[in-house]
Structure 1
Amino acid sequence: MSQSSSHTPRGRRSAAETTVTPLPWKAKLGYSTFSLSYVMQTMIVTWQMFYFTTFLNVPMAVTAVLIATGKIVASVIGPVWGYISDRMYRNALGRKFGRRRSILIFAIPANFVFYLLLWIPDLPIPVYFFANLLYWAFFAGITTVQYGLPSEMTENPTQRAQLVGVNQIAGAIGGTFLSVLNVYLFTIWGKDNWESYFNMALLYGIIGTAVLLLGFLSIQERPFDESTNVSDADVSGDGDAGANAGSTDNVGANGRLGFGRRLVSVVWNFLSVLKVKEFRNYLGLYLSEECFRTVRGTLNTYFVIFVLLLDPQTVSLATGVNLLFGIACVGFFMWVTARIGGPRAYRLGGFEVIGVFLAMFVLAMNAGSLPTGTRAVLYIGLGLFMNFGITGVVNATQYTYTFIPDVDEIITSKRREGQYAAINSTIDDIFSSAETIVIGLVLEATGFVEGAQSQPPQTVFALACLFSFAPIAICVIGIVFTYRLKLNRENHELLLAEIARLREGGSMADVTDETRALVESLTGMPYERCWGHNNVINVARRG
């Protein structure tokens, strides 16, 4: 398959072209820059709530609502980013830069500007509110592109696994760099003044934006052809591709949808993907993984400072050491996941994570009787074991996701990586927003004191319980969903072979019984209703 993003004539790609053509390392490293840019996101996740409540004197409840509202906006705008990016070959900008790159042209600079506003002191709360809202809105555009690229860049499972692994390693390197450098910067700038946090945020904003620009120049995309020409499916009104239907007020003579139909189409494309059975099963894994990591990330600083009675440098040092250890874990889990599959690798990491959270609770309950050095060593040591399990869960989840757009293609005959990437981000934002609000309200209810150097005993106990048991409960839900997934490597190869056969003009009537059974188990619909004979993309289409 040609990996250029230029406008090429419509045509079908053979199985050999789509699954064998190797990706150059320039493209793989270009994809890794998205995770490297998360030095900005790590700064926000680790320090924003602490910075707002400690130095900006914003009440805890207000801070929680402010952060959650931004994520809710991102969850609403995410499907729009995905919908637009899948259809950017419709216009000249998309054909010039690529349907994914054209989104980055807008999202990268806006992301930097609104990120930086969050760290400027003495601004009115409404300014922080809207800056946070717009930061998350444009960050959703970047993550939509990132999540879709492994399936976008190649159909080869091994190369997708490499992209997932490179992505994790880059994230660990970026997180390690931030955390270790933070220790040094806290030493020379101090830890009890807002200037230190602002200067760090500025530094990471510049670094994150610079690497995103490198990624913009390096990533590769699918060419324009029948499968990426998603816009055609928007205006067909019956079971035959390209047929026009719908009201004449909403579909123009040039085949473009009017505003009303376009709005309906955005909403419908968001909802209709939930018809896909394997995607619903995957969401159980994804939401569990994202939610328990969000709880841990949100509460980690408070847990270390107010429960374990350690200082901010310990937070950064522990994060850096754990992420560095995670780089080695990625290679191990890439091998394990390829051998035993995503669901089993998820269970391996998930059960290990549960054990570590239980150990963290025991440490919290005995923190008062242990010397400071002992507490720090035990926290960092347990963090290493936890990061091993988290690495496995994340690797298994991301690897499993790369197969989902292929299931969608057998249903729609189109490549909609952007749509699924946006749904991932949207549903995650909805759940993480709810978590943030609940955490803030619970802490407020237990007597959390903004700006204080210590907290009441009931607040400390609530922090210990939330940090330990909430992630355990969420992780158990994810483990349950691993038993429902059907898409392993062998089934994926069979699915790709059927997609390639149909791309090359093969008849649906010639499907084998084995392939029919597999497609129906993955999609949750009769085989005859697949390959565009449905209304998954276009609600006005019959099939």
Structure 2
Amino acid sequence: MIKPTERRVGYGVAMGYGVTDLFGGGAFAIIGTWLLFFYTTYCGLTVLEASSIFAIARVIDAILSPIMGYITDNFGNTWLGRKFGRRRFFLLLSSPLMFLYALLWLTDMNYWYYLGTYLSIELLSAMVLVPWETLAAEMTNRYEERSRLAGVRMIFSQLGGFLAVSVPGLIMQFTGKDNPFTYTLTGLIFSCVFCLAVFTTWRCTWEAKDVQPEHKFKAEVQRSSGLFNHLKYLILDLISSFRIRAFRLHIIIYIASFTAMDVFGAVFTYYVIYCLGKDAAAVSAWSSVGAFAAIPGTYAFMMLLNKLNLTPSSALRLAYSSIFFVLAFLFIVYYTKTPVPDMVFFGLFILNGVARAGLIYIPWNIYSFIPDIDEMVTQQRREGIFAGVMVLTRKSTVAIAILIIGMVLEEAGFVKGNGIQPESALYAIVTLMTLGTAVLLAISFYVTYPFKLTRETHKVLLKEIARRKLGGKAEDCDAPTRLVIKQLTGYEYDEVWGGEATRRVVGQVNCSRVE
């Protein structure tokens, strides 16, 4: 019988896996580009009320997402988990629930309706994305195949982003630029797309639930049953994930990069409409060009990593430098009042789209290798916990960032539904979009230097894990391998694989020989 991790992942399988990122990328690209504008323009909400919806929903979801990761790590012990998969069962369950997305885009409802519908979408995203994001690490342990899975999913994510900004613009040609039905129809169309995408992934993927531990030494964690104990172990697992050095650095890169793009996206529509004096059609056109450029941009970064063997850190710095240029250009255009031809803006957003593709693809490519580093320390596979932490940390920081944006705009005198904003509000919009985004990207730029995960170091790591699983002794490990293990895990070699670091990370551990 072929084990799940021995199956090969070609582009057909990768497409079946990656198509769900039409939801991951598309749903929140629409939300990031249009929902705040929709709430404040057509739904009668103030900018502070609208931003509070994002903040409240994401804080609640940030709490539930790691619980989702913990559940999927342990769901294989249930009858449903054994029949449908501990991860994939939730994809099957979520597919028909995608039609909840259409309910976001109705007008003439009250604050509590919009809070409830947005909260339901955040919770649905956790139920889909947390288990789905673990599958790349479960389906294969080959660097090239995991990179292929990450690359193809990012292409679908960028395609979803392209459709998110272009479809509303296309619908505007028939409904008019100021018709709220544009957004209602957009929500309904994408609900159908997301439903089919998630079902396709359920049909085309597998998980490593049939693989039994092959190593002769393992960490046996003594854990009690009961709801209180499960909550305690969940918290301990979440905290322990940050004890892995590569994951700590990765989280900083990931959170700062993605939050920077969220800040940019949240105020970009305001920048174009109020600061440049353009209309919503211009937002759609420029965003569409950037989103379309991100599709070949993702493939280009795949080639940089897989064919030209550029390290993830170097590729990230290339993407950040390009975005710094875009931000500086937009800042100068506003403050100097320089007239710029539309073709220049199109070229600028092509560059931004390609750079953004690298910024998004590379952290998610890196993520699929983190459980391997963790295994060197804990001798366990904890993909669900890492996926949960990724969602928790990002949505917590994004919730804070969006709330701060709302508070700053409110304090600066932003007037909802007004065609002309006071000068103070315009300055706030420009500063948030350029300086706020640049500071977050600068943090990520700096952290890429101590981050040492590459194709070569990953091969060294997997080779050493395989050697230890076959009963290899710690004293037989050579000096270069010991250095790699320390750079990735943050611990001396003698502390991992059942040593002191294992006890610190996992908790109460009994390292014993398995006959």
| TM tier relative to shorter chain | over 0.9
Q: Does 1:326 align with 2:320?
A: no
Deviation at 1:185, TM superposition (A): 0.5
CA deviation string 1:258-282 (max 9, x = no partner): 1121110111111111111111111
For 2:235 and 2:352, the matched residues in 1 are separated by: 39
For 2:344 and 2:47, the matched residues in 1 are separated by: 29
For 1:469 and 1:325, the matched residues in 2 are separated by: 24
Deviation at 1:171, TM superposition (A): 1.8
For 1:335 and 1:516, the matched residues in 2 are separated by: 30
Deviation at 1:180, TM superposition (A): 2.9
Instruction: Look up the equivalent residue of 1:309 and give its one-letter code.
Output: G
Residues 383-422 of structure 1: pairs in structure 2 closer than 5 A: 383-422=349-388
Residues 242-321 of structure 1: pairs in structure 2 closer than 5 A: 242=220, 245=222, 251=224, 257-321=225-289
1:514 corresponds to: 480
Q: Please point out which of 138, 141, 145 is paired with 2:131.
A: 145
Q: Does 1:477 align with 2:447?
A: no
Q: TM-score, normalised by structure 2?
A: 0.92
Alpha carbons of 1:183 and 1:128: their partners in 2 closer, same or farther (altered >3 Å)?
closer
For 2:421 and 2:395, the matched residues in 1 are separated by: 29
Q: Does 1:345 align with 2:315?
A: yes
CA deviation string 1:178-214 (max 9, x = no partner): 3333222101012212222111111111111221111
For 1:149 and 1:83, the matched residues in 2 are separated by: 15
1:233 corresponds to: none
**Partners of 2:219 and 2:378 within 8 A in 1:** no
For 1:104 and 1:135, the matched residues in 2 are separated by: 14
Q: Please point out which of 162, 181, 186 is paired with 1:176.
A: 162
Q: Please point out which of 60, 69, 73 is paired with 1:73.
A: 60
Deviation at 1:39, TM superposition (A): 2.7
Q: Does 1:214 align with 2:200?
A: yes
For 2:421 and 2:278, the matched residues in 1 are separated by: 13
**Partners of 2:98 and 2:194 within 8 A in 1:** no
For 1:453 and 1:171, the matched residues in 2 are separated by: 33
SS in 1 for 2:94: helix
**Partners of 1:308 and 1:375 within 8 A in 2:** no
1:87 corresponds to: 74
Runs of 4+ in structure 1 off by over 6 angstroms are: none
The CA RMSD measured in Å over matched residues stands at 2.3
Deviation at 1:404, TM superposition (A): 1.0
Deviation at 1:348, TM superposition (A): 1.0
**Partners of 1:443 and 1:463 within 8 A in 2:** yes
Question: Is 196-205 or 375-384 further displaced after alignment?
Answer: 375-384
Deviation at 1:227, TM superposition (A): 4.6
For 1:122 and 1:311, the matched residues in 2 are separated by: 23
**Partners of 2:474 and 2:494 within 8 A in 1:** yes
2:141 corresponds to: 155
Structure 2 stretches of 5 or more lacking a match? none
1:501 corresponds to: 467
For 2:118 and 2:167, the matched residues in 1 are separated by: 25
Instruction: Look up the equivalent residue of 2:52 and give its one-letter code.
Output: V
**Partners of 1:310 and 1:376 within 8 A in 2:** no
Residues 205-244 of structure 1: pairs in structure 2 closer than 5 A: 205-227=191-213, 241-242=219-220
Q: Please point out which of 82, 88, 99 is paired with 2:86.
A: 99
1:167 corresponds to: 153
Q: Does 1:61 align with 2:43?
A: no
Instruction: Look up the equivalent residue of 1:407 and give its one-letter code.
Output: I
Q: Does 1:362 align with 2:332?
A: yes
The percent identity for this pair of structures is 27
CA deviation string 1:464-496 (max 9, x = no partner): 111111111111110110111122211110100
**Partners of 1:228 and 1:415 within 8 A in 2:** no
**Partners of 1:265 and 1:539 within 8 A in 2:** no
**Partners of 1:3 and 1:220 within 8 A in 2:** no
**Partners of 1:448 and 1:456 within 8 A in 2:** yes
Instruction: Look up the equivalent residue of 2:67 and give its one-letter code.
Output: V
Deviation at 1:434, TM superposition (A): 0.9
Q: Please point out which of 328, 333, 346 is paired with 1:380.
A: 346
1:236 corresponds to: none
Question: Is 122-131 or 410-419 further displaced after alignment?
Answer: 122-131
For 2:350 and 2:292, the matched residues in 1 are separated by: 9
**Partners of 1:293 and 1:471 within 8 A in 2:** yes
For 1:25 and 1:314, the matched residues in 2 are separated by: 35
Instruction: Look up the equivalent residue of 1:56 and give its one-letter code.
Output: C
Question: Is 508-517 or 405-414 further displaced after alignment?
Answer: 508-517
**Partners of 1:412 and 1:531 within 8 A in 2:** yes
Question: Is 75-84 or 526-535 further displaced after alignment?
Answer: 526-535
Alpha carbons of 1:41 and 1:328: their partners in 2 closer, same or farther (altered >3 Å)?
same
Structure 1 stretches of 5 or more lacking a match? 5-16, 230-238, 252-256
SS in 2 for 1:264: helix
1:7 corresponds to: none
Alpha carbons of 1:437 and 1:380: their partners in 2 closer, same or farther (altered >3 Å)?
same
For 1:492 and 1:60, the matched residues in 2 are separated by: 46
Deviation at 1:428, TM superposition (A): 0.7
Deviation at 1:40, TM superposition (A): 2.4
Instruction: Look up the equivalent residue of 1:281 and give its one-letter code.
Output: L
Q: TM-score, normalised by structure 1?
A: 0.88
SS in 2 for 1:340: coil
Q: Please point out which of 111, 116, 119 is paired with 2:102.
A: 116
Question: Is 220-229 or 58-67 further displaced after alignment?
Answer: 220-229
**Partners of 1:273 and 1:536 within 8 A in 2:** no
CA deviation string 1:487-543 (max 9, x = no partner): 221111010011112233434443333323322332123434423552467533367
CA deviation string 1:378-402 (max 9, x = no partner): 3322111112222222233222222
For 1:40 and 1:486, the matched residues in 2 are separated by: 33
1:468 corresponds to: 434
**Partners of 2:43 and 2:109 within 8 A in 1:** no
